[in-house]
Structure 1
């Protein structure tokens, strides 16, 4: 079966770089399947799980807390704000991070710029997605 290069880069390191059959990424507008020959595009990512398929089976699942993906016919490069293998997620840690994000959002005042409120809400949604991914793992 045809493959393409999937690269997943976090601020800390390169997490994944190999040929895969398919990847499902959490695009801001919804789940997006990437296959070899995909139309070129750039997409924003929301918090969610990247699913990797190789040899006809799902081989890896990684949580990303947002970022961007560049898709070409032969490559998908994910630049993640934060990325963690699903097996490494802790429910307790995810719950703590949800609480912190919700507290930060609640502390925003009417005088704060709308961009600050939007960024804080995106963080809340991302951490809730992390908690959901940790519970499902």
Structure 2
């Protein structure tokens, strides 16, 4: 089967780099399945798990907290605000972040409350927990 090189990078580091069979990512307009030779495109990415089908047919997930994906016929680059492999995710920390975000959302009557920020914090925490457990964010 054909493969295409994929790089997932954040401002701090390169999170993933390998030749893969396919990338499935949640773009701004919906889910995208990218195969080698795909038509060039650039899209925003939502907070989600990016699924990567490796050369051997197995799948790898990466928790991505927004960013952009650039697709060329011969390379896929994901520029993410933050990204983590499942084994890098601190599940206890993610669970605490989820609980804090849920508590903030429950207390919406507070002065200077930033609903969108709390909502995004909750999405990031849920995404990290689901990728760590091998599930996809719905």
When normalised by structure 1's length, the TM-score is 0.78
Q: Aligned partners of 2:55 and 2:134: how far apart in 1?
A: 24
Q: Aligned partners of 1:135 and 1:19: how far apart in 2?
A: 24
1:121 aligns with 2:119: yes
Q: Residues 98-117 of structure 1 correspond to what in structure 2 (within 5 A)?
A: 98-103=98-103, 117=115
Task: Tell me how many residue pairs correspond in the alignment.
Answer: 135
Residue segments in structure 1 that go unaligned for 5+ positions in a row: none
Specify whether residues 67 and 101 from structure 1 end up closer, same or farther in structure 2 by C-alpha distance, changes over 3 A only.
farther
Residue segments in structure 2 that go unaligned for 5+ positions in a row: none
RMSD, aligned α-carbons: 2.7
The aligned counterpart of 2:17 is 17
Which stretch shows the higher mean deviation, 73-82 or 18-27?
Answer: 18-27
Q: Deviations over 1:31-66 (max 9, x none)?
A: 321111112211111222122223351242211121
How far apart are 1:129 and its partner, in Å? 1.7
